[in-house]
Copies of this chain bind each other. A is one copy, B any other.
Amino acid sequence: MRDVSIIGIGQTPVGEHWDKSLRELAYEALAAAMKDARVEHIDGLYVGNMLSGELTSQEHLGALIAEHSGLRGIEAVKIEAACGSGGAALRIGYAMIAGGLSDVVAVMGVEKMTDKPSHMVTSALAMAADAEAEALQGLSFVGINALLMKRYMHEYGYQKDDFANFAINAHANAVNNPYAMFPQAITAKQFAAAKPVADPINLLDSSPIADGAACVILAPTQIAKEFTDKPIRIRATAIATDSLALQDRRDVLYLEGGAISAQKAYAMAGVGPGDIDLFEVHDAFTIMSALSLEASGFARRGQGVLLALDGQIGIKGKVPITTMGGLKARGHPVGATGVYQLVEVAIQLRGEAGANQVPDARLGMAQNIGGSGATVATTILERI
């Protein structure tokens, strides 16, 4: 098995790109990443995407993006695992190089969500849940997360405002990210006064739907320095699953898929949570940050929120999370999010995060979650 590194990164700003089609966004990120890696050709393209069929009446994105990007002929496929599509695509690209099937590949995430009315987007997102047990009953994703948050508060005795720092931290970090959708700081007062969406979730617990594309270029570590002075080694990649429906979980407040995925990644890298210098969590809603921190071993059960309350999640904290704004403030173009996380971890490990730089960051982790925890892709990257 060959060792694999990221040799280039690219991303588009996250936002409402009404002037750009899906294929144009994809090309922008791919071209930026190829330029960053100083490559003019790639052997394969693995595209994480969830909703192109439902929201743009277009499937077959692998070939579409390859051709639109001037790469006609290359191997190209779409990978779908709901909002975990990007992180899942990384593992596929990794396997292609690890197994010697390819030498240089691109892993991309792309999503175009804002051209359709929001009720259609809400319905489309519900396809990540169990169509028979959840979506058919009218349960939306904000509803699912509201159930989780309410149960968590009840079980562990928290108040709604105890979650505020997850959002405040994300927005504070987004201020210095030129690609972020909402680079505005928010206050605890604003959080407390935000409009309710689905009790107890308010607008500032929730990540925004968005358009965007991000891309990483992979090559064998052995030759990575031929392309870049700052290769980022992929120390581990793991995907694990759980039931789609909350009702089928053994314990709704425990992300079993997250735990399996993190444990596999730690084992592959030979490290533990104490070795991780920053952790990009999948903060689609503030409750998911808490659950992800707990499943990955950064906090005991019921204590993920304490890390935020105690101010441990900031850039200079014990467990820096959402260092470039997270899903909350960078934005959440669902199938692209997992690759945005990887790009951001790479920026940190390359020491290019500017005002947001985590001091001496050597090991970074990203956890990308599909649905309410049914697919979890965990990746550990290392500065070499």
Residues of A within 8 A of B (CB): 1-2, 21, 44, 50-51, 53-54, 56-64, 66-67, 72-82, 88, 91-92, 94-96, 98-101, 123-124, 126-132, 135, 238-244, 248, 256-257, 260, 370-371, 374-375
Rounded to whole Å, the gap between the CB of A99 and the closest CB of chain B is: 3
Residue of B nearest to A99 (CB): B99
- The A contact surface, by secondary structure, is mixed
- Contact residues in B for A64 (Cβ distance below 8 Å): 130, 244, 374
Check B77 against A78 for contact (C-beta < 8 Å).
no
Closest 9 CB pairs of A and B: A99-B99, A98-B99, A63-B374, A63-B241, A58-B131, A59-B127, A75-B239, A78-B80, A60-B82
27 of the cross-chain contacts (CB-CB < 8 Å) are A21-B132, A53-B53, A53-B54, A54-B54, A58-B130, A58-B135, A59-B82, A59-B127, A60-B81, A60-B82, A60-B127, A60-B129, A60-B370, A60-B371, A64-B374, A72-B242, A72-B243, A73-B256, A74-B241, A76-B239, A76-B241, A77-B79, A77-B375, A80-B80, A95-B95, A95-B99, A96-B99
Check B21 against A72 for contact (C-beta < 8 Å).
no
Rounded to whole Å, the gap between the CB of A52 and the closest CB of chain B is: 8
Contacts A60-B370, A128-B59, A242-B63 given: A95-B88 contact, CB under 8 Å?
Answer: no
Rounded to whole Å, the gap between the CB of A116 and the closest CB of chain B is: 14
